[in-house]
């Protein structure tokens, strides 16, 4: 039947496999539950129909058996009444029912197998739904923790990048300090050089009054 084809994979379905394929596991959990509950409704309805079919097949088989037993009983009674003609008719009817019995037995066996299969699928689906319901909050909790960890990892990368930037900033600051120190040193050297030149020039053109006076006094004394 089509329902058996439709749900034959339910027996081998795996909740974890479904979640592994999900792009958004949290949304997939809710969607999976909706799908499974929808499937369960279909399976339950079809299971009830197939179980009813099994009961009809069993009733037809039992009725045929009962008719065979009745025809056998009537044939015996007819012979006991010395009515061979009626006994023959009952036996002929018994043979007709017996010919149908094999087909009814096969139909019942098939209906019973289908009903068993559907009950197994129904029970498997109920168990899967119950399992997923009980694990739903736990799985969503794990996903929330995973998302938090992912954000922390991204922040860690940002912090590492910031540290690199800070290191670069310190390096440039040191370079600026060195450049400033060098410029200040050059300025100091230039200032000292300018002062020395002016002083030398001043000494060059400054007359030593004391020496001149002493020289003049010495010359005067000698002349005297």
The arithmetic mean of pLDDT across residues 160-168, rounded, is: 66
pLDDT of residue 90: 93
pLDDT of residue 12: 47
Give the residue with greater pLDDT, 151 vs 172.
Answer: 151
pLDDT of residue 102: 92
Predicted structure pTM score: 0.48
pLDDT of residue 96: 94
pLDDT digits 0-9 by tens, 8-47: 554 445 555 555 665 677 777 778 788 888 888 888 888 8
pLDDT of residue 133: 82
The distance of Cα 179 from the centroid of its chain, to the nearest Å, equals 56
* Angstrom distance (rounded) from CA 118 to CA 126: 12
Give the residue with greater pLDDT, 18 vs 200.
Answer: 200
pLDDT of residue 34: 83
pLDDT digits 0-9 by tens, 67-97: 999 999 999 999 999 999 999 999 999 999 9
pLDDT digits 0-9 by tens, 98-145: 999 999 999 999 999 999 988 888 888 888 888 878 887 887 777 778
User: Quick one: 129 exposed, middle or buried, by C-beta within 10 A (0-12, 13-18, 19+)?
Assistant: middle
Count Cβ neighbours within 10 Å for each residue of 86-108 and write b for 16 or more, e otherwise.
ebeebbebbeebeeebeebeebb
User: Quick one: 128 exposed, middle or buried, by C-beta within 10 A (0-12, 13-18, 19+)?
Assistant: buried
User: Quick one: 125 exposed, middle or buried, by C-beta within 10 A (0-12, 13-18, 19+)?
Assistant: buried
């Amino acid at each position: 039947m089509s329902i058996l084809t439709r749900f034959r994979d339910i027996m081998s379905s795996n909740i974890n496999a479904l979640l592994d394929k999900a792009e958004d596991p949290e949304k997939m959990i809710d969607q999976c539950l909706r799908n499974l509950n929808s499937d369960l409704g279909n399976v339950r309805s079809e299971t009830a129909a197939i179980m009813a079919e099994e009961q009809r097949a069993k009733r037809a088989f039992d009725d045929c058996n009962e008719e065979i037993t009745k025809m056998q009983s009537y044939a015996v009674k007819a012979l006991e009444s010395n009515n061979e003609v009626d006994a023959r008719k009952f036996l002929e009817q018994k043979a007709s029912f017996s010919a149908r019995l094999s087909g009814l037995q096969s139909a019942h066996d098939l209906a019973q197998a289908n009903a068993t299969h559907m009950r197994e699928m129904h029970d498997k689906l109920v168990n899967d739904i119950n399992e997923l319901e009980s694990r739903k909050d736990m799985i969503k909790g794990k996903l929330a923790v995973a998302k938090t960890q992912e954000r922390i990892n991204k922040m860690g990368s940002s912090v590492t990048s910031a540290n690199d930037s800070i290191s670069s900033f310190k390096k440039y600051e040191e370079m600026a300090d060195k450049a400033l120190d060098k410029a200040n040193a050059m300025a100091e050297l230039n200032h000292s050089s300018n002062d020395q030149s002016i002083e030398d020039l001043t000494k060059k053109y400054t007359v030593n009054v004391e020496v001149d006076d002493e020289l003049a006094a010495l010359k005067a004394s000698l002349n005297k």
